[in-house]
Amino acid sequence: MGKIKVLSEDVAQKIAAGEVIERPASVVKELIENSIDANAKNILIEIKDGGKKLIKVLDDGQGIASEDVLLAFERHATSKISKLDDIFAVKTLGFRGEALPSIASVSRVTMITRTKEENIGTKCIVTGGKVEYFDEALSKEGCTIIVEDLFFNTPARLKFLKSSSKESAYISEIISKYALGHPEISFKLIIDGREIFTTSGNGNIKEVFAKIYDFEEAKNLIEVEKHYGILKIKAYLLPPQFSRNNRSYEIFFVNGRYIKDKNLSLFLEKGYSPFLPAGKFPVAIIFINIDESYVDVNVHPSKTEIKFKDEYKIYEALLLMIKEALRGDVLIPKEKISINKNFIKEERIDFLNNPAVENKINSINREYFCNFEDKIEKKVNEVNQYIKEFSEFYSTAEIIKNEVVNKSLSKETSTNNFKVIGQIFNTYIIFVDDNNLYILDQHAAHERILYEMYLTYSKCFVIQELVVPHVLKLTHSEMEFFKDAIDIFKKNGFDLDIFDNNSIIIRAIPFTFGIPKDPSYIKEILDELREENFPKDKNKIAASLACHAAIKADEILSIEEMNKLIKMLFETENPYNCPHGRPTIISFSLYELEKKFKRVIS
């Protein structure tokens, strides 16, 4: 008996829907693209429970004629194209005729719509791909789509969705991108009954950016436009000092379509590369307009991947424009950047030879995240000893912030028989012993020290209270991700909470963080936790926290501070690599140096 069977229509539809509808944000994307194609001027999006329970998209576009409503739920029924060649000249965002039937096959969909020519509207209800209701209904001109109980009939798909706050964040991100890409349309987002943002629809991209992301940053956007024959590129760029920890703010539109393209990101980052440190990414909104015949949008059902004809001409044009835009005084901050003095009171103290150290340490609030029971006195003594030892490594009231080294550099040798020569490029420390020269990466070394301290004291962090609690503004998507990360922060020595709809309040931070100059490091940690999908592995969390608390490249250290750093490094379990695997030290033996200078042969 043969093994191959033809799948039922129901099963085939559900499988096909998975290519288009991955999560609630996919539904929102498809529906707002339909609204944009219908020339809507106002689009309202409402979601509940991360879009799992409800997604509602209401627009004032052209609407759908009554006789077309049922056809709209048929697979591959579309008003956008009629023959294959039309795909290569498509001007609309949708064209495949897959979105509505895909959504309707895995949810309960209600459509209420009316065109300008009709006196009465139409209401249609489709559940799991089957029409349950179709009749006339009162309706304003435009279209309302209500999607309920997404994936109710595919529980395996439902199981793989993230928390409601994460799914809400993904939805907020996609709507934010389309609001930037179409500033001529007013977008309103409501999540769980709370209005998140409303854009004006007046065509001003900077105003949209300020509304969704950050008002102060919006003032620094660099607007640039270039024409290269049939190619037009317009960009809104933030100067390098506003970089981010991931590519979430690299936003590309091609002929009004939001797309993802690794090569566009690569060439954008190449243009910024002289001004950005490793691991930092630009904030840029790029609009590429080109004749439709040069773009293939039919690469994937999601329509976020495209192919260009003569792609490298486009990439090179983007690179040239970015390089030109970042020349001259545009890189000079337009306003003086000042430290927020309400964040924490900074004191400059010589921690190496100053009796005030003891008073400073004793003033630190000791708050532990564990129960000591009858061993509390012993644990307090251990922590006090930890503070005493660690404070010796502080400078100016702050924690001073690889080919592989020869493992013959023992702890005894490394701590008792070396001499610090100095610091080069304000990043690397040169030191020697009797037979070797060593170059130490100060950031990687301090990461290793802090990482092992975090793991050692992971059950009883010592925290320091801020003189004045700091309020940090987050975007809505950042806030939704923060809701999932708040317990991770609290379990690792932070005292912080949600303050209002778009900000958090920071009351205390781990002692090992010293005195941070800029509270935005919370955003950086949040970005990293998000990239790691909010790990529960304490090693990954410790590595992330250590990275952000450690001294950075380009920080000047004194000889005493360098000595302390080296000694503390070689008291760790693994002094040769940072928590992320990079080497902390490289070495050159005397023999290797003499060979380089031809002082010895062979």
What are the structure tokens assigned to 241, written together?
Answer: 């000092």
Write out the two tokens for 158: 């439902």
Predicted pLDDT of residue 291? 86
Q: Which domains does the chain have, with CATH numbers?
A: 9-200 (3.30.565.10), 221-327 (3.30.230.10), 419-589 (3.30.1540.20)
Q: What is the DSSP letter of 7?
A: P
Percent of the chain at pLDDT exceeding 70: 74
Sign, CA torsion 102/103/108/110:
negative
Map residue 288 onto helix, strand or coil.
strand
- Report the distance separating Cα 7 and Cα 465, nearest Å: 63
- Beta strands 436-441 and 419-424 are unpaired
Q: Count other Cβ atoms within 10 Å, centred on residue 162.
A: 16
Q: Residue 482: exposed, middle, or buried by beta-carbon count in 10 A (0-12, 13-18, 19+)? A: buried
Q: How far are the Cα atoms of 24, 68, 148, 155, 156 from residue 159, in angstroms, in the given order? A: 13, 34, 16, 6, 5
Choice between 330 and 32, residue whose per-residue pLDDT is larger:
32
Of 164, 204, 140, which is closest to residue 53 (Cα–Cα)?
164
Q: Which backbone phi and psi does 486 adopt, to 5 degrees?
A: -60, -40
Q: Are 34 and 45 in contact (CB under 8 A)?
A: no
What is d(CA 322, CA 332) in angstroms, rounded to the nearest whole number? 16
**Band of the pLDDT at 491, cuts 50, 70, 90?**
confident
CB neighbour list of residue 469: distance below 8 Å, 6 or more residues apart: 505, 506, 507
Partners of 124 in beta bridges = 111, 134
| pLDDT greater than 70 at residue 209 | yes
pLDDT band with cut points at 50, 70 and 90 for residue 48: very high
* Beta pairing partners, 438: 431, 587
* Confidence bin at 534 (pLDDT 50/70/90): low
Q: Are 145 and 185 in contact (CB under 8 A)?
A: no
CA distance 473 to 129: 43
Alpha carbons within 13 angstroms on the beta-carbon side of residue 516 total 22
- For position 55, what pLDDT does the model report? 97
Handedness of CA 364, 366, 367, 370 (dihedral sign): positive
Which residues touch 479 (CB under 8 Å, ≥6 apart)?
Answer: 169, 498, 501, 502, 504
pLDDT for 337-396, tens place per residue? 333 433 333 333 333 333 333 333 333 333 333 433 444 444 445 445 544 544 444 433
CA gap 169, 479 in Å, rounded: 8
User: What is the three-state SS of 58-116?
Assistant: EECCCCCCHHHHHHHCCCCCCCCCCCHHHHHHCCCCCCCCCHHHHHHHCCEEEEEEECC
* Least reliable range by pLDDT among 3-7, 185-189, 318-322, 484-488: 3-7
Number of H-type helices and E-type strands within the chain: 19, 24
Q: What is the pLDDT of residues 172-186, one digit of tens each?
A: 999 999 999 999 999
- Those residues whose C-beta lies under 8 Å from the C-beta of residue 530, and which sit 6 or more positions away, are 246, 481, 485
Alpha carbons within 13 angstroms on the beta-carbon side of residue 573 total: 7
Is residue 7 within 8 A of residue 15, CB to CB? The reply is: yes
Q: Do the strands 295-296 and 284-289 form a parallel or antiparallel pair, or are they unpaired?
A: unpaired
| Unique residue bearing structure tokens 């009883």 | 460
Closest CA to 538 of 455, 463, 459: 455
Residue 101: alpha-carbon gap to chain centroid: 32
Q: What is the DSSP string of 217-264?
A: HHTTPEEEEEEETTEEEEEEE--GGG-BSSGGGEEEEETTEEE--HHH
Please tell me the predicted confidence (pLDDT) of residue 131.
Answer: 94
Q: Residues 6 or more apart from 113 whose CB is under 8 A from it?
A: 63, 64, 69, 121, 122, 139, 142, 143, 144
Q: Note the pLDDT tens digit of each residue in 265-302.
A: 999 999 999 888 778 899 999 999 998 888 877 665 56
Of 179, 10, 20, 189, nearest to 100 by C-alpha is: 20
20 falls in which pLDDT band (50, 70, 90)? low
Inter-helix orientation angle 442-456/376-391, to 10°: 170
Which token pair is 253?
Answer: 């539109």
47-66 burial, b at 16+ Cβ within 10 Å, e below that, comes to bbebbbebbbbbbbbbbbbb
pLDDT at position 602 is 64
Q: What is the pLDDT of residue 362?
A: 34
CA distance 389 to 392: 6
Q: Rounded CA gap, 196 and 480, in Å? A: 11
Lowest model confidence (mean pLDDT) among 226-230, 327-331, 430-434: 327-331
Contact 486, 496 (CB under 8 A): yes
- What's this model's pTM, rounded to 2 decimal places? 0.69
Which 3 state secondary structure label does DSSP give 464? strand
For the ranges 70-74, 262-266, 512-516, which has the lowest average pLDDT? 512-516
Residue where the block lists tokens 């879009």: 51
Choice between 330 and 201, residue whose per-residue pLDDT is larger: 201
Looking at per-residue pLDDT, the higher value among 459 and 79 belongs to 459
Q: Identify the residue with better confidence: 3 or 530.
A: 530
pLDDT for 317:
92
Sheet of strand 419-424, all strands in order from the earlier edge strand to the far edge: 419-424, 428-432, 436-441, 585-589
Instruction: For residues 73 and 61, give the distance between their C-alpha atoms in angstroms, rounded to a whole number.
Output: 18
pLDDT tens, position by position, 90-133 = 666 755 557 898 999 999 999 999 999 999 999 999 999 999 99
Please give the span between the terminal C-alpha atoms of the chain, in angstroms, as a whole number. Answer: 74
3-state SS, one letter per residue, for 291-341: CHHHEECCCCCCCCCCEECCHHHHHHHHHHHHHHHCCHHHHCCCCCCCCCC
Mean pLDDT of 199-226: 90
pLDDT at 85 over 80: no
Supply angle C-alpha 99, 287, 33, rounded to 5: 15
Q: Residue 432 burial (CB < 10 Å; 0-12/13-18/19+)?
A: middle
